Structure 1
Amino acid sequence: MREPTLRDVADAAGVHTGTASRALNPEKRYQVNAETVRRVLKAAQSLGYTPNPIARSLKTARSRTVGVIIPDLTNPLFPPIVRGIDEVLGSHGYSAWIVSTDNDPEREKRLVESLRSRQVEGLIIATAQLEHPLLSTLHQKGVKVVLVNRGVEKLEIPSVTPDDAAGVILAVDHLAELGHTRIAHIGGPQTTSTGTSRARAYRHAIRDRRLDDDPSLLIECSDWKERDGAAALRSLLDRNVKFTAIVAGNDLLALGCYDVFAERGIQCPDDISVVGFNDMPFLDKFRPPMTSVRVPQFDVGVEAGRMLLDLLKEPNRHPRSILLPVSLVVRGSTATAPR
């Protein structure tokens, strides 16, 4: 039995093939009246017709695909972001190719080349470093790029990021209200905008509230992983740095602190309070449940998808950046400072 064609759908719906094609295309559906669209969609469903994306791309010279590049597929931050991106792209007839770089610049370069060889129309990138040669090259070549969760300096590339500074201020204010005066910051890599903006906000918040401004309380991790947070806390403890609370650069770094608490017999929050950042899924299941700065992860993805679609429709539009609001979710990992 042969596969149904566009002409079969058009004949079944009683319309011209061009009308059927527009009705089946999410971006051109508005050109057809609602009753006709309903009839065409019903005919396509009853016949089991599936549009051929390859044939469409050959006809329009557009692939209807977008590359999504993330640094770490195992990081729970990214699936909701990717879901938001995919929902927006899918509603406009686009598909997403999702790749993970494992924070390896060479792997990232190979993956980007592979995506471009597949004629993706644009890229959504969550791997950006402050100094990022590959991004500079893509920008010079006119590749349509939107950054998500990160920004870069010196390049006018549109981006969607959470309000990192506001989130850190919320965390420090919360701990200060609980009586903590020596608050450590276990920060992410200072090669990323996320790491630098959160560390900068921590320093400003500590000084503005006249808390103990001790450089030994701030420690940088080389990566955003749980093991790096654990190594940072061990370093603070082994150097005998005194503190009663921690603001971590993200939830995984904070979870690394939990590992060390178990190792060293430290009670959280009785001995040390901890605040994470991102509010990734299942934080309420840990013991104690983790206080964290909530990032609207799905909304970050939605806005990134919309921004790239706008860029594809208007290639010459001036780059813009969106800063999304955050909130603090207070759970059991923070308490009044010990005496």
Structure 2
Amino acid sequence: MAGRRPTLDDVARAAGVHKATASRALNPETRNQVKFETARRIAVAARRLGYVPNTLARGLRTSRSTAVGVLVPDLMNPLFPPIVRGIQDRLDTHGYTALLVNTDNDEARERAQFAELASRRVDGFIVATARREHPLLAEAAELGTALVTVNRTVDLPGTPAVVSDDADGMAQAVAHLRRLGHTRLAHLAGPQSVSTGAVRLRAFQQEAGPSRGAVVECTGYTEPAGRAAARQLLDAYPETTAIVAGNDLIALGALAELAAQGRSCPRDVSVVGFNDMPFADRFRPPLTTVRVPHHEMGMQAAQLLVELLTQPQAVARTVVLPARLVIRGSTAPPD
């Protein structure tokens, strides 16, 4: 075969099977129709020969591309790379490829990129950009587009999602601060247009009590937004001794503002984050935060989408993963 590309016929001949059997074994959607040992023998033959399936031709024949569109709002946010890695790891095992786009939290950009991915005939979408009210996803769902939201949910019944148990994570954070003796708690909430911001705020108010917990909503899940909100909070509620932030970047902004005002963390004000993003343990002080299993979240989202694509009778469901408080140096009893 020197000088030419290996074909499906070559793989079938090397594995000692019919061409149709080799085709089924190398197609993620039909692999389960072939006995395990036979499929393994065919896969070994394909690897040895260097055979690469023509997914474009398969897509033209079956209206499937074995590609999945993945939309994230901000790749600079450290929580999204582990999610994307989890998506890729699980898609790889099913023979799908992830096409990743970054929307920069811009609705017009998101719509344009969604349309571009659709024009490339992706089989479905995994969306980390979901807002509670999301016209684009509502339109896509109405057209029968296979989609799963990850890390966030949308107010759209029947849309599969993978999220963390944010309410329980917030309850753990507030309980920890109470055990330390804090009574003047505050929450720097994430944007209320997204489910994570709304769920975490609701849980904070339930656990801390509206009369005991000051709240300032941040304009985004960013360090500058966190610093601006912390400044507003500390001006209005200078007696605050503990802050629960909507995410770790907001917490980082709060730490910066505390330092700028000459307040020490945790001696003057304790700070708790949310997500346990990479390097949170290297903050000054190391950040107490709620750990969310982002890699597992991505894997589960990919699994839900594969089920939608390969099992016509699959029931849409939401997977809720446990969150866990990680205690570090940013929290201590109040003076």
Q: TM-score with structure 1 length normalisation?
A: 0.93
Counting only pairs closer than 5 Å after superposition, residues 245-264 of structure 1 correspond to structure 2 as 245-264=242-261
Contact 2:138 2:156 in 1 (8 A): no
| Aligned partner of 1:131 among 127, 133, 139 | 133
3-state SS of paired residue (1:186): strand
Q: What are the within-5 Å matches in structure 2 for residues 306-317 of structure 1?
A: 306-315=303-312, 317=314
Alignment-mate amino acid for residue 281 of structure 1: P
1:70 alignment partner in structure 2 = 72
CA distance in structure 1 between the partners assigned to 2:319 and 2:42 by the alignment: 38
In 1: Cα distance, 2:237 partner to 2:195 partner: 30
Q: Secondary structure at the match of 2:234?
A: helix
Q: Are the aligned partners of 2:72 and 2:128 in contact in 1 as well (CA < 8 Å)?
A: yes
Structure 2 unaligned segments of length 5 or more: list them.
none
The 2-side partners of 1:136 and 1:36 are apart by 43
Distance (whole Å) between structure 2 residues aligned to residue 122 and residue 277 of structure 1: 30
Encode CA deviations 1:251-293: one digit per residue, 9 max, x unaligned: 1100111211332222111111111001111111222111110
Q: Deviation of residue 214 (structure 1)?
A: 4.7
Across the two proteins, how many residue pairs are aligned to each other?
Answer: 333
Change (3 A) 1:12 1:318: closer
CA contact (8 A) 1:136 1:155 kept: no
Identical counterparts, % of pairs: 54
Seen in structure 2, the aligned counterparts of structure 1 residues 152 and 44 have a Cα distance that, compared at 3 Å, is: closer
Partner of residue 320, structure 1: 317
SS of residue matched to 1:90: helix
Please state if 1:213 is matched with 2:215. Answer: no
- Name the counterpart of 1:12: 14
- Give the equivalent residue in structure 2 for 1:272: 269
Shift, 1:316, TM fit: 5.1
Contact 1:149–1:161 (8 Å) recurs in 2: yes
Superposed displacement of residue 317, structure 1 = 4.1
RMSD: 1.7
The question of 1:58 aligning with 2:60 is answered: yes
What is the CA-CA distance between 1:154 and the residue it aligns to?
4.6
Question: Counterpart of 1:196?
Answer: 198
For residues 4-153 of structure 1, what are the structure 2 equivalents within 5 Å? 4-153=6-155
In the alignment, residue 188 of structure 1 is paired with which amino acid?
G
Q: For 1:171, which of 170, 173, 187 is the aligned residue?
A: 173
1:124-175 per-position Cα deviation (integer Å, ceiling 9, x unaligned): 1111112211121112111111111111225331111111111111000000
Where does the alignment leave 5 or more consecutive residues of structure 1 unmatched? none
Bigger mean CA deviation after superposition, 272-281 or 311-320 = 311-320
Any idea what SS the aligned residue of 1:246 has? Answer: strand
Q: Provide the rounded CA distance (Å) in 2 between the counterparts of 1:155 and 1:30.
A: 31
Q: In the superposition, relative to structure 1, how do residues 152 and 42 fare at CA in structure 2: closer, same or farther (>3 Å)?
A: closer
What is the deviation of 1:248?
0.3
**1:240, distance to aligned residue in structure 2 (A):** 4.9
Cα displacement (A) at 1:18: 1.5
SS of equivalent residue, structure 1 residue 288: coil
Contact 1:274 1:291 in 2 (8 A): yes
Structure-2 residue corresponding to 1:243: 240
**Could you tell me which amino acid in structure 2 is paired with residue 292 of structure 1?**
T
Q: Deviations over 1:50-103 (max 9, x none)?
A: 111112212222111111111111111111111111122111111111111110
